[in-house]
Each structure stands twice: as C-alpha cells, then as structure tokens.
Structure 1
Amino acid sequence: MNILTGINTGIIKSPDAVLALALKMQSVLIAETLMYLPPDRVQDLVFAVFCGYRRLQMVFREDPESIRARTIADTERLNNRTLSVTLDEIQNPNVALRVTDFVMKYRQDRVTFLFFLQNEEVISVDLTVTQMEFLLNLLLATIHKTGDAAFVSLALQANDFIPFYTVDFANIGSSGVNYNKFNVPAWKFSAFSDFYSLVMIQEDGDIPCGAIIKALPELEPSRIKAIGELLVNNNPLLAPYRQRTLAFTCEKIAPEVREEEMEKLLRAHIQHRVTKMSPSTC
C-alpha cells in the first residue's frame, strides 16, 4: 500500500479567478510529488473526499472509540508532516504536472486516488478512511481561502448527488419528452445507490421539466430546492424555465431500476410527474 504520509496545498489565481490548486503529497512509496488541479478536477477531488468522509462516519457508528482514536492519530501525523509549497511552484506552475483526469477506487479498508497528469504520468496514492477528516478540512480551508465565490460554488455545491438526466416535458403530448443525459464517470456514479425523480412545479400546477438524479437518502427539502435550482440555472435544456417560479419535489425511484434501463427510469419519472400534477393541468 502507498499510504499518504504528508500533504499541503497552494492557490494559483489570476486577478479574476482561481486557475488551479497546487497539491503536494508524500506517501510511503513516493518521497514527494507535485501536481496542479484545475477547478473541475478540484471538484472531483472534493467529491471523492466527501465520499471517503461519509465512509468514516459509517465506520465510526460501528466502532466509535477505535475510529476516534485512529482519526486523531492520523490527523496528528499529517499535521506534523506539512509539506512546503514554494513561491516558485505557485508563480511558475509546470503545465506537464496538470491533472487532466481523476479516479477514485474503493478498497476494503481504504480508497485509492489516481491522478492522471498532462505528461501521461499516473500518480496513485492510498488513503485510509481515518485520514479523510484531515484531508476534508484541509481542502475546505483552502477553497474558502481563495475568496472566489464561483470557485467555492463549483467545488462545494454538488457533492451529495449526481445528475443523470434533465427532462423537458414541453412537447410530451406530441413529439414526446426531450431529455439530456449527463456524462458521469463510473467512479462518481457508483458513489450513490438510489435514483430519484425530481420534478419542477410551476405556480399554476403545471410541471414543465424535471430531472433524474442519484443522491444520498433522505435529502432535506431545502437541499432538494437547491439541487433543482442548480440544475435549472446551469443546464441548457432547462434554460427556458430559469425565469419562472418553481417548486421542487423529489421521489425515490424503485431500487430494482438500474442506470442502463433508461426507458424504465424515464417512465418512473413521467409517472411521478403525473401524480404531482394538479387536476386542472392534467
């Protein structure tokens, strides 16, 4: 195992925006390695760390005393092994060390992070679940320190769900539904087990659009609203509805439906829409 033994971050900014985060790591088999994550890869890394942190919460419930002790010990070890990110590494980033792709792999007692670099090198680092609290706190502190609202939003607004489809019902009575499928990497898609139908309801009771997502169970109503608004405001298919007043409601799709069964997912989504339509709009 190539367990993480040290880590630090740095911020690369233009006058207008965050360009990348510098990430320096040390592990059992690697003395020190430096890489640069553009904003979309930062979001991937944060998503993965949140997944790892949820695993930590799960094992903590099973054995709180042991997991607490291991988490404290891992945090102290990583705190004591803070790596130096130099001014030259921030001001003169090496484009060959840019992260072009990222994958997380689940292991029985750990996770593996794979960083694919511009120079075609692949950096593989293993992390125990009891290291996740330290890593999450480090990333959150770095992200907020940037002071870039758009970057903070990108990194933090979509770590508890994955969009699968957005759906436009405008022509459902004639040509049928129009939908847009998201290209989600397999490692992200496997992070959640349950599909949900999310419908968007106008003030007159009509439901012009919706989405199919995978998400954590028992999302709060405020979070469902935030996810719905995020999809409406950022997905081109839903652009016609951005200026409308919408309410959002979510319903779990039968667990036996799988992601490759697009027709069943859409049928369940349409049925959810029908049950939520007011009688006057049916």
Structure 2
Amino acid sequence: MYKIAVVDDDEHWCLEVQSFFQKSFEVTSFTGIPYSLHELVDYDLVIVYSSLKPEKGYGKNSHGFEIIRFLKTHVPNSPLLVIASDSLSKSEVNIGRKAFPEADAFFAKDAGLEELLQQTLQLLNSKHKKLFQQSNQAVTDIKAMYTMAVVDDDKHWCFTIDRFFRNEFEVYSFPTAADFLKQSFEFDLVIVDYSIPPLDYEDYVESRELIHYLKKLRYPPLVLLVSGYVSKNDSALAKNICPEADGFCAKDAGLDELSRTIKDLLSCKK
C-alpha cells in the first residue's frame, strides 16, 4: 500500500483526507512542520499546504514551496510532491502550476477530495510505470540486477543508499556485522562502514575483520569501505586503513562520487 503524508495546519482537512483515503492508502498527517524534513522522504507522495504558518525555529523552510524545494534539492529520488491551496480555485490550476513549478502537481482544495484522490492515483500510477520501465531498461543493460549489502548502523544513510541505487541494485541493509553474517545470501558488492558498533549481546566484529573474512571466501564480493570520519581529501590515508578493501569512498564525497566508484569497481570485475 502506498504511503502518503499530508502537511497542513488545518486539522479538520487532514482528518477528512485521512478518512477519505484510508481504504486506498496509508495516510499520515502532520499538522505542523515535521521536526526534520527528512521525515518526509519515507513517503511515496507528500501533500503540502501552500500557506503553512511559520513556526519558530524553521525560518525559510516554513512555506510550502520552500519545503518542496528543500526535498527536491536535498533528497535523491524524492517522493512525489503536491501543493494544495485554498487561495486559488480549481479554475486557476494553471496559475498554481506556474507559481509552484518544482511541485509535481498543484491541487485546489475547492475541487474536492474525489478529484484529489483521482489526481493522486494518476501520479502514483505514472511514477510506478516509469520506475518499471527504468527497471526493465536496467535489466536490459546489465542483464541481471546487481545485489548490494550495506553494513552500517546509520539508518538514514542506508535509506538514502537504497533510494539512490534502487533502480540499479537490489539493496539490503544490515545495522551490524553480526546481522550481515547471519544471512547466507551472496552479494556482488558489500559497502562497509569503517565504524560498525557492536550490540551489547554480540561479539564485536570490526570492519577490517569483516572485510578480511569476506575476502577469504571462495567467491568473494567486491568490498567498498566508507567512512564519515575520513574526508574525501584523505582517501590515500583511508586506503592504508584496510588495504584488503577493493575501494574507499568518504561519505562527504557525495552519492554521485560513490556511484562512480562502484561502477568503476564493477567494470573492472567483468
């Protein structure tokens, strides 16, 4: 079931949307701006009221358009974003679209919830079809989708990796090395965080031990060491930390650089 978020300070309208959509979607409403806008990235579609009242501590991100701009700018593969307005009527939809060009759609509240439902379904179906086509193209290009494991306790980082690479890889996340070692699945690529914390009830397995173990396998996967403590300017130093790793990428280098590094490793393996 698709997940939808409604960000609107009109509690009555939020309840109406939840009640009307509940049979078709899993709906969560935010009657104020979320503590972190990154809370919204977990949804398939987000409906944002265009004239949210400013809240202390939010400043420039308090307006509906600024929320959408932030998500479009900072979140890879951001959810579908819809602006809802009661200041423009359903006959002025084109004006709304021009006023909010970065939104995926504009909705006038006076059009009614049935119209909002149909528009939401159309957007989600269109995105699903596009993802399906991209997935088929990826399969055509590389014959079979690569599998990737991410061993990292940073849930946000793991989620970002999953969203960014989902059309090219089957991505699986593990918060500890022990969790990873419990599975028997073979991966093409394993991304290991340099600082893997142990759980209280587990034997400690650090990143270098895990990489050493993986490289001793009969069919070892490619292993990429990543770190949030070593910057992109210290990559030479990082390579000395664990020479058994096939590559290193600093987290501050960004996802595009990570993607290039991974593709280089895979092309060398062919």
TM-score (norm 1): 0.26
Higher relative contact order (CA 8 A, sep 6+): 1
TM-score (norm 2): 0.26
**More helix per residue:** 2
**More strand per residue:** 1
